[in-house]
Structure 1
Amino acid sequence: MRRLSALRELDRRGSVAKAAQAMHLTPSAVSQQLTALSRELGVPLVERKGRGVRLTGQARIVLQHADVIAAQLERARTDLAAWGHGQRGSLTIGAFSSAISGLLPTVLTDLNQTRPDIDIAVVEAEPPDLFTRLDAGEIDVAIAVDFAQAPPFTDRRYARTDLLTDILDVALPAIHRLARLHRIPLRELAADPWIVGDAHSCCGAVTRSVCAAGGFTPEIRHSVNDWQSLVALVGAGAGVALVPRLVQPLHRPDLVLRAPEGQPPVRHVFAAVREGGENDPVLTATLERLIAAGEAVGPGGNSGAAQDPWVAKPGLIIND
């Protein structure tokens, strides 16, 4: 399985160096794993392409079987867990920051009360690192947003559960010229400075896509991934931003949130486990509670005032 994992990572990452980095190995060690697998199977798995390598047709066939083998091993672990009445020692959930603050407190409280025998840990991570950790068994449940860095919906390595559709609103300084409008035409903010997360983060990617759909490329004056820092800059008049409703609101006098005009921008939040493991009794209980938490949050986020249009009172801050 270690050798098959090396082949799967090479397919995913596109180079031996990147596969080695993902697996916390040296490129030489990954090459040795691939060479040994090729020797065992009696077929070439990689071939030279310029300074790098690419997978052969035989390697593609092996990968199809590798996905099946990995899923079957996960089913075996599930059967063993069920035989032991689901008394597993630990469960690790990997999630992005606003899912940790907006979804997990309810889930963890419930699990701690109903399954005190399970030791639950939380890791903050985003794709692709989140799914590398899931593949490696470092986490058991991955909570992510659909965007370019996440696996495609059809990825056979994962069993996926949709949790919620999270709406994004426009964050404006309270003194902004558009702050009194109930709905904000995004095109009217084309000339404003924007405060946006890193392009590789889910919210950073979503904001860029939303602005592009609105017909403009935002002038990104500040690159900030922390929600507290982002809204502090908005409140100080440093720019405007898009903020998801999943994060918790607190009062702040220098900031308002307004619904964008037209179809609201959204991000789709889902949970994933390794294919074959979805029937594990502990994972099943966790996913059930995640689904319930997502339904409680609903399309309006944690604001508790998720009307359409949703108009935040002056003085709201978003807490990471």
Structure 2
Amino acid sequence: MDISRLRALRELAKRKTMAAVADALFVSASAVSQQISQLEDEAGVPLISRRGRGVRLTEAGERLVAHAERIIGILEEAKTDLAELKKIVAGEVRLAAFPSIASTLAPAAMQEVETAHPRLRVVLNVMEPMEGLAALRAWQTDVAIVDDLTVDPSSADRNVEKTYLCDDRLYAILPAGHSLAGRDSVHLNELADAKWALDVASNKYSEVIMAACHHAGFEPVVNAYCNGFEVVVALIEAGCSVSVMPGLRLKSYRGEVVSVPVVPEIRRQIFAAVRAGETRNPSIAAVLHALGTAVELQVPAHTMSSL
């Protein structure tokens, strides 16, 4: 059986629609449908049943996916074994990182890899944590940066290993002239009457902020839903809004806003995720080492305790 067809079926089991699989594998929906049909011809039994726009795996399909998981894992383990034997740090490693990492740790890590291993190329893709984790499972990236605020713990996978990188604290972001700007800390409920700008590039992250506000006893009045950091801080600089953001996202920012630690303290842990066993791959190990070095340079003592 063709391995690419098995991967398409595996993705279909996770994503439920041909269109979602097509997006994940960077092919057309008709190509996915054709791969599944060809796989059914090879298997000699129906592997899926259609339900409106979605599909559901038959019992035969579910059994074949279980085998596909093992087959794909064995193939990746074989690649890692061969790479480990060759001891060559070369080729390409794909890194998926969300914006605050992509703008702080990733550049330093990529520069170190380029200096230490000239034959190794790191290709960065900016992805939110859940998106990066999905890309890792689909073999579309090799290292995915994730955090414990936006990645659902139920999404834990025995085929994924995580390496701790650092903690990152959340801060209230205020206009320079705000009455709370000179404080050592701000409780969220002190911002109950303010207008909020939310970065909704990651739905999960904005949900975390909304949930924290609810826990503090209020429903935030949102006057801007923004698809990116730049618009949020522009609104805050203009005095239109306040917000809450991670410290790493603000580390390289030099604009006219004030950051004040939120209390009770809200932190997230940040990890580098790889497929199980691939830390033995010399090229992937080199990227993980470079990320760790970047943390030491950018985030002293592994924590963003202050800006």
Q: Is TM (by shorter chain) over 0.5?
A: yes
Query: Could you say which residue in structure 1 is the equivalent of 2:219?
Result: 217
Query: Could you say which residue in structure 2 is the equivalent of 1:38?
Result: 40
**Which stretch of the first structure deviates more once superposed, 227-236 or 141-150?**
141-150
Query: Could you say which residue in structure 2 is the equivalent of 1:130?
Result: 132
Alpha-carbon deviations, 1:284-311, whole Å to 9, x = none? 122123234335514543xxxx2xxx4x
Deviation, 1:261, is: 2.0
Q: Take 1:251 and 1:26, find their aligned partners in 2: how far apart are those partners?
A: 43
Secondary structure in 1 matching 2:178? coil
Deviation, 1:51, is: 5.0
1:139 is aligned with what amino acid?
T
Alpha-carbon deviations, 1:198-256, whole Å to 9, x = none? 1635543432332233233322212224334322321211111112111315554x422
2:47 is aligned with what amino acid?
L
Aligned partners of 1:71 and 1:277 also within 8 Å:
no
Q: Take 1:283 and 1:100, find their aligned partners in 2: how far apart are those partners?
A: 17
Aligned partners of 1:169 and 1:257 also within 8 Å:
yes
User: CA RMSD of the aligned region, Å?
Assistant: 2.6
Query: Could you say which residue in structure 2 is the equivalent of 1:289?
Result: 290
Q: Where does 1:42-121 land on structure 2 (aligned, <5 Å)?
A: 42-50=44-52, 52-121=54-123
Deviation, 1:197, is: 0.9
**Which stretch of the first structure deviates more once superposed, 198-207 or 111-120?**
198-207
Q: Structure 2 unaligned segments of length 5 or more: list them.
A: none
2:282 is aligned with what amino acid?
P
Secondary structure in 1 matching 2:240? coil
Point out the structure with the larger helix share.
Answer: 2
Deviation, 1:137, is: 4.1
Query: Could you say which residue in structure 2 is the equivalent of 1:270?
Result: 271
Q: Take 1:193 and 1:230, find their aligned partners in 2: how far apart are those partners?
A: 12
Alpha-carbon deviations, 1:244-286, whole Å to 9, x = none? 111315554x422111122x12223221223342210111122
2:98 is aligned with what amino acid?
F
Q: Take 1:207 and 1:199, find their aligned partners in 2: how far apart are those partners?
A: 13
Query: Could you say which residue in structure 2 is the equivalent of 1:18?
Result: 20
Aligned partners of 2:133 and 2:146 also within 8 Å:
no
Q: How many residues are paired up?
A: 302
**Which stretch of the first structure deviates more once superposed, 137-146 or 69-78?**
137-146
Q: Does the alignment pair 1:240 with 2:242?
A: yes
Q: Take 1:258 and 1:278, find their aligned partners in 2: how far apart are those partners?
A: 38
Percent of pairs with identical residues: 35
Query: Could you say which residue in structure 2 is the equivalent of 1:200?
Result: 202
2:76 is aligned with what amino acid?
E
Q: Take 2:129 and 2:35, find their aligned partners in 1: how far apart are those partners?
A: 25
Q: Take 1:32 and 1:192, find their aligned partners in 2: how far apart are those partners?
A: 53
Alpha carbons of structure 1 residues 209 and 293: separation in structure 2 relative to 1, 3 Å: farther
Secondary structure in 2 matching 1:119? strand
Q: Take 1:89 and 1:157, find their aligned partners in 2: how far apart are those partners?
A: 23
1:287 is aligned with what amino acid?
L
Secondary structure in 2 matching 1:272? strand
1:230 is aligned with what amino acid?
V
TM-score by length of 1: 0.83
Alpha-carbon deviations, 1:131-175, whole Å to 9, x = none? 454345443211123455668452234222222221111011122
**Which stretch of the first structure deviates more once superposed, 114-123 or 37-46?**
37-46
Query: Could you say which residue in structure 2 is the equivalent of 1:258?
Result: 260
